[in-house]
Structure 1
Amino acid sequence: MFMLILAALFGAVYLHFRRKDRRMLRNGVALVAAVGCALLGVVEILTQVVPGFGFVTLLIVLLLPASVLVLSGFLIANGVTMLRREGRRLGNMLSLLAGLAIPALPVIAVVLVVTGDPYLITLAVLLFLATGYAGAAFVIFLSYAAAYGRMTHQEHPAAVVVLGSRLIDGGVPPLLKARLDRALEIYRQSEQKPLLIPSGGQGPDESRPEGEAMAEYLLGQGAAAEDVIPENRAVNTAQNLRFSQQIQDDAGRSGPLLAVTNNYHVLRAALLSRKAGMRAEVTGAKTARYYVPSAFLREFIAVMKGHMFLHVLLFLPFLAFSVLVLIAGLNAG
């Protein structure tokens, strides 16, 4: 019962935080805590009232290592698919690298421990704690990214900015087409047509600015010329949002802004819009399934880098514990 009370408290905190601003990672912390406590509370009650349920719970726990290996195999297979379909770039290798690291890290930790060297044992402890911290942070990020991506946005946008991505041979590839089609869907459903701002500059491997190609697609799909103003300078998401906000202001289209991107990118774009002090929300378009694992890993790394100082502070107690382990090991020796 205690865990269910905790779940209710964390749930109330989550709803309070979400009502204040949906675009905050702390919402995900409260959400995961609420769901985790609720699950533990339900398991506790079922163990007490359902004969044999404790054995089922134990069996599930024992199967966890097997499920981790299954996850590793899935990520490796997905990584191979990414390399085959998207090319050999570091961003396309993330699921493969994660799949290889999952079984490798425990083996490395065991090897370090069996050496008996206090420094190597401490390194093993630090590796375990860092992996656990990163895993917990990823669960929070993934959970809230899924939750935020399913939220409905009640306000009718005055402007819709479509975040750009790499062109292929000067044209709009499927990934970018999904974003543009989602923006057109919102545009057609709106009685008062919002301003469409396709945003993206020209990359070193592109023959023209992304915004130009995106605007051409929108006009070709029936958007009115007076409702489409491309943004052709941005080289990252923060610039997409900031430069598009300026275009909206210059066009006199006051009101909320809605950014459109792919589902894996929704939460990070929302965090950046909040950091920029913008009155904006973000909605997502569907992404090819094989692309999602690596894309979410890439987004997670970017979010971690963006909050690096905070994560260093949060990890300091674990670092202090590792130092205590080292001191104890040296004294024992």
Structure 2
Amino acid sequence: MPGFFTLLFAALGIALAARDSRRLLPGVLLTLAATSLVSAVVVFVLGIGGVILVSLTGPGGDVAAVLLIFIVPLLAGVGLGVALVGNGIVMLRREGRSLANRLSLLAGVGVLAILALGVVAVLARWFEFAVIVLLLAGPIGYVGMGFVSYLCWSAVYARIARRGPAPAAIVTLGSGLRRDGSVPPLLAQRVALGVETLQRSPDAVLVLSGGQGPDEPRSEAAGMAEHAAGLGAPPERLVIEDSSRTTEENLTLTREILAERGITGPVLAVTSDYHAFRAATLLRTLGMPGNAIGARTARYYRPSALLREYLALLRDHRLLNIIAVGVLMVPVIAFVAISLIQLLAD
């Protein structure tokens, strides 16, 4: 049966990816296929390990095998939590104390807190609390599995996007200027990739997309255009879109400008690597043909940035995710309600 589901998930994932790779569902299905396969292998290996332990240690081997099943995931979870906390501290030191920069720290603290609560509940024999923690594995697992799928599929999509058709327009997405109006390193990397792609696409134009924020002396598009010209981009091939405030507006307003100029064909959105997949999903939602690619960012910056983008992706599909998490929370709510009724009855 595990083999059947592995093949089913894999086949559906590949078919949907071939149809349109700019959505998360193929990644979810392929992640489920991989999880099913890995689970079958782990069960098989642990089964053999349990037999060996029993043969070597007698009945105590059963206990050792069960402990092994729980200790390995526990240690992996602790390692993940510690790594996220460490990254969060680095982010706060290098990037400031904004909420976005605290995401990896908050995620790490959350992982460690849930693991600690589970261990304490088991050791203290708090049956009701242990059951609640166990039931929370459903909604937490849903969000966690989605994040793993997002990480894996966005990496696969990055390779697919670079093999897409030649673009009619390259759209570099803004990300904020310095207070003096200059282009910061992260945005400079986007512009450089846009100019590099323009030089390989003789029939395309380069759209610099980004409005003016309240703390910026000029529009992001103006700053990017100046930077692109400094990198050798021909001024006659540059198009300015300087009214947008969000990624969705970047793409929507760019579509209008391209339509006015009679430019048709696929677009290639250029952004940062952590943001590329979500930009691609917005292209799909807006019905725009094309793909999105990303310029490299510093390794320490990616964990918080990826968490932020995943939360934005969940928000973009909020109704589906609210329903899914709500359904998975039903057992938790039901157990808490039954426990309170019994407590009041006593």
Same fold (TM over 0.5): yes
Distance in 2 (alpha carbons) for counterparts of 1:53 and 1:304: 44
Distance in 2 (alpha carbons) for counterparts of 1:31 and 1:153: 21
1:233 maps to which of 239, 243, 252 = 243
- Structure 2 vs 1, CA of residues 59 and 115 (structure 1 numbering), >3 Å: closer, same or farther? closer
User: In the alignment, is the contact (CA less than 8 A) between 1:195 and 1:253 conserved in 2?
Assistant: no
1:310 maps to which of 320, 330, 333 = 320
1:217 aligns with 2:263: no
User: In the alignment, is the contact (CA less than 8 A) between 2:78 and 2:115 conserved in 1?
Assistant: no
Distance in 2 (alpha carbons) for counterparts of 1:237 and 1:221: 24
Q: What corresponds to 1:18 in structure 2?
A: 17
The aligned length equals 330
- Equivalent residues in 2 for 1:133-152, closer than 5 Å: 133-151=142-160, 152=162
Distance in 1 (alpha carbons) for counterparts of 2:272 and 2:194: 11
- Structure 2 vs 1, CA of residues 41 and 228 (structure 1 numbering), >3 Å: closer, same or farther? same
2:185 maps to which of 142, 155, 174 = 174
Q: What corresponds to 1:248 in structure 2?
A: 258
Q: What corresponds to 1:185 in structure 2?
A: 196
Displacement of 1:317: 2.9
State the SS of the aligned residue for 2:250: helix
Residue range with higher mean Cα deviation, 225-234 or 73-82: 73-82
State the SS of the aligned residue for 2:269: strand
Residue range with higher mean Cα deviation, 71-80 or 295-304: 71-80
User: In the alignment, is the contact (CA less than 8 A) between 1:163 and 1:259 conserved in 2?
Assistant: yes
Structure 2: stretches of 5+ with no match in the other structure = 55-63
Displacement of 1:39: 2.1
Q: What corresponds to 2:2 in structure 1?
A: 3
User: In the alignment, is the contact (CA less than 8 A) between 2:74 and 2:115 conserved in 1?
Assistant: no
Q: What corresponds to 2:302 in structure 1?
A: 292
Structure 1: stretches of 5+ with no match in the other structure = none
Displacement of 1:49: 8.7
User: In the alignment, is the contact (CA less than 8 A) between 2:95 and 2:101 conserved in 1?
Assistant: yes
- In structure 2, what residue type is equivalent to 1:176? L
Distance in 2 (alpha carbons) for counterparts of 1:97 and 1:259: 31
Displacement of 1:25: 1.6
Aligned Cα root-mean-square deviation (Å): 3.0
Displacement of 1:134: 1.9
Distance in 2 (alpha carbons) for counterparts of 1:77 and 1:145: 24
- Structure 2 vs 1, CA of residues 220 and 112 (structure 1 numbering), >3 Å: closer, same or farther? same
- Structure 2 vs 1, CA of residues 56 and 265 (structure 1 numbering), >3 Å: closer, same or farther? farther
User: In the alignment, is the contact (CA less than 8 A) between 2:13 and 2:29 conserved in 1?
Assistant: yes
Normalization by structure 2: what TM-score? 0.85
State the SS of the aligned residue for 1:246: helix
State the SS of the aligned residue for 2:241: coil
1:208 aligns with 2:207: no
Larger Rg: 2
